[in-house]
Structure 1
């Protein structure tokens, strides 16, 4: 059953049709990332919300009836919700939304404190509708933030590949960070939306809804999230500690070719690397037409990995690449899937570099820290009104709150908003926000993507990936 858009707003917003000044005709609001953990934000995910919630007939008599019952219960009074506001849209527009939304192309990476999206009503009788939609549209913060985190990790990986990895291995960067976050996501919708945001920068994923979302809402021709056969502890521990080596042998026999991952810390990761993989099963591993990926899954990542690599280099040997760093034989690699986050990844690769180990030996799996350990304040998202028309008069709207500094002095808060109708321009490769009529020689990078109930501009997943890597 489709959600009732009439009920997808903060409750207090149902009073705004009365609280706006009489004579209000148009409200124009904008979305920005005001700052946060990273200096730039990748824009991604709006198309999902447009297709799922805003496109086509979204208001009907039945949905108005449902909302009226609910909101009278919520407020305990009948003079807050005004069904006539929604009935007007049903009768005049057939239930389509009379709003215009402009946005930067999805996949664009924009410095913080720039406009990313604008929304305005196209019918003066629906002035209340612009910010009524804030609650839902603000949720674009989530895919934008996951896409941003994933991209920033790719930049870290590229840094260490550039410093330590062979040129021939660079194609493997797409598979360095793998999404293990499905089970830790707050919902299937979050897994699909956040997981597909990750796939803008990487191709490794065990979150199937991510590929479903990319195909369903962004026209991906094939699943963009790829995976490999892999064990879990329920498989490896099935015969107890004494049977672990037999399980390992069974894994190799079952998939004699291709890439296969095996969790190896069920009992003693160092014994598993030294004795089982590195001695008893060594020849079978080296004779495979494919790669065994050994997975430690507990302990301090840096200390554990350094010891694991020391053992594997001794048991399997290594080459030294053109940059002077050690590389395991192609039949053996390692994946770290525990304790992986943006903050830990740089420390892990820095420790490998210091130990003379190439980054190309290691892949990563990231779960909750990728899809769940983010919030709206990670990149300080906000949607604010910056322009209005009241009784025919255009008004630039702005808030400039003050706050106390640590020294007790008044200063302007970072929550200061922008004023006027806005434009995002690209000049000498750099984005900046200007007034609508400023910089007339520079085209507005904000494109109309939605107007009066219809999606005007769509972005294909392949194009978003290409844009994100420019």
Structure 2
């Protein structure tokens, strides 16, 4: 048994796609498909990640060996295989995929029920390629959904900072830190999901996101982190020497202007705050000129953050900002366990009720940020909407009586601005230059035509 080529593009599809070249009407020369969010958790999606998919995968060339390998596997698997069509890709197109992909600029916030991306074939003999790559292209749902959720959380934090703080612009980029790398299903998910978060923020512990950002979005350093303790670096000192573990952190990382985080619930959070941090080490912390970030980890997140902030205020004191809210001196708090939209809102509400600024607390988010999303979070769909059959335009759509919400669009689709809002426009012809379009041709015939930087994408907020 020989190993299959991990780089074989032909195999990155669903099995049944291989039979579709026999199913379209005779005389079909053109197909047009589109991607949209049909609704879901949020009223708009922040589109991101297509450039990565195109750059990493669809710029590869298909080889004769790829075709032979795919044919042998798929026919043995029980499906027919469009051998002549794939050999045409190799012989006539030099292995480049004869497809054209248009999309909204990455980072654009688009209301649901609008076209985000469209795909059509450029070779009239290979219209079925448009559907073949649905499987791969549909995966843009993942970075887009992570980016969308991260953006919506950013807006919650922005409003809280603007209402209760004086430094919203400086604080906001680091208020939601990515702790999600270990909680996702693959290295690729960590990198792409982690970079999706960094469209909106700059704090991360997902190193893989930096690699993806540098390789595919021209980001030298996409995000930043700080020295931080974990339970093992505290508990390895032993319970009787917990304070020595903390002292080591202050002495090692407590440099003027610096910032470092220490998990403080290994044994007794209240004792750690009131005695170790608040009495024994307080002079050392205050003299260092650095900022200690205390991390309560276990317990009910809103209750633990409330306890920690108030206990630190009693020991280190506070100042009052121009909005009339208290700001901790020398210390801050980060909560990294049990964080999602609900706990973020509750923690921020508690801070406000207690008279504290939102700038006192940052959040670390793991599985809920990168893993607790799926294609139905924003109800993504990739559907054919137009074709040419015997030279005649044909609208293509589905309209199931059992679920009207799944009615698909028909037409050659484009996104335009009308009356201050984005709307999807449907043409009944393939012969259009898309006047006033918000979309761009990003890929054609195996070549990536647009390469946005991460900074350009961030600027589209």
1:83 offset after TM fit, Å? Answer: 1.4
The answer to which of 101-110 and 313-322 deviates more is 313-322
Structure 2 distance, partners of 1:62, 1:53, is: 17
Q: Describe the SS at the equivalent of 1:378.
A: coil
**Alignment of structure 1 residues 167-178 onto 2, 5 Å:** 168-178=167-177
1:22 matched residue in structure 2: 26
Q: Describe the SS at the equivalent of 1:144.
A: helix
Structure 1 distance, partners of 2:291, 2:37, is: 42
Q: Describe the SS at the equivalent of 1:68.
A: helix
Deviations 1:184-231 (A, max 9, x none): 1110000000000000000000001111111100111x2111000111
1:440 offset after TM fit, Å? Answer: 9.7
Matched, 1:456 2:460: no
Contact in 2 for aligned 1:427/1:442 (Cα 8 Å):
no
2:438 matched residue in structure 1: 445
Contact in 1 for aligned 2:328/2:360 (Cα 8 Å):
yes
What is the TM-score when the length of structure 1 is the normalising length?
0.94
Matched, 1:67 2:83: no
**Alignment of structure 1 residues 157-196 onto 2, 5 Å:** 157-166=157-166, 168-196=167-195
Gap regions ≥5 residues in structure 1: 404-411
Contact in 1 for aligned 2:250/2:285 (Cα 8 Å):
yes
1:344 matched residue in structure 2: 343
Q: Describe the SS at the equivalent of 1:395.
A: strand
1:288 offset after TM fit, Å? Answer: 1.4
1:73 offset after TM fit, Å? Answer: 2.4
2:135 matched residue in structure 1: 135
Matched, 1:434 2:438: no
Q: Describe the SS at the equivalent of 2:226.
A: coil
1:408 matched residue in structure 2: none
Structure 2 distance, partners of 1:248, 1:135, is: 50
**Alignment of structure 1 residues 64-463 onto 2, 5 Å:** 64-75=67-78, 80-166=80-166, 168-220=167-219, 222-257=220-255, 258-329=258-329, 331-403=330-402, 413-436=404-427, 443-463=436-456
1:326 offset after TM fit, Å? Answer: 1.0
Count, aligned residues: 453
Structure 2 distance, partners of 1:15, 1:227, is: 49
Deviations 1:294-327 (A, max 9, x none): 0011100111111111111110011111111111
- Runs of 4+ more than 3 Å apart: 436-442
Contact in 1 for aligned 2:306/2:347 (Cα 8 Å):
no
Contact in 1 for aligned 2:393/2:428 (Cα 8 Å):
no
2:48 matched residue in structure 1: 44
1:380 offset after TM fit, Å? Answer: 0.4
Q: Describe the SS at the equivalent of 2:386.
A: strand
Contact in 1 for aligned 2:385/2:410 (Cα 8 Å):
yes
Gap regions ≥5 residues in structure 2: none
Deviations 1:126-158 (A, max 9, x none): 011001110000000000000001000000001
What is the TM-score when the length of structure 2 is the normalising length?
0.96
Contact in 2 for aligned 1:386/1:398 (Cα 8 Å):
yes
Structure 2 distance, partners of 1:310, 1:458, is: 48
Q: Describe the SS at the equivalent of 1:212.
A: helix
Deviations 1:80-114 (A, max 9, x none): 11311100111110110111000000000000000
Structure 2 distance, partners of 1:351, 1:216, is: 41
1:27 offset after TM fit, Å? Answer: 0.7
Structure 1 distance, partners of 2:435, 2:26, is: 37
Contact in 2 for aligned 1:56/1:454 (Cα 8 Å):
no
Contact in 1 for aligned 2:36/2:114 (Cα 8 Å):
yes
Contact in 1 for aligned 2:254/2:291 (Cα 8 Å):
no
2:459 matched residue in structure 1: 466
Structure 2 distance, partners of 1:134, 1:354, is: 49
Q: Describe the SS at the equivalent of 2:250.
A: helix
1:406 matched residue in structure 2: none
Deviations 1:19-57 (A, max 9, x none): 111111111000000000000000000001101111142
Deviations 1:257-299 (A, max 9, x none): 1111100010111111111001110011111122110001110
Structure 1 distance, partners of 2:295, 2:411, is: 54
Structure 2 distance, partners of 1:98, 1:302, is: 54
Contact in 2 for aligned 1:180/1:367 (Cα 8 Å):
yes
Contact in 1 for aligned 2:60/2:96 (Cα 8 Å):
yes
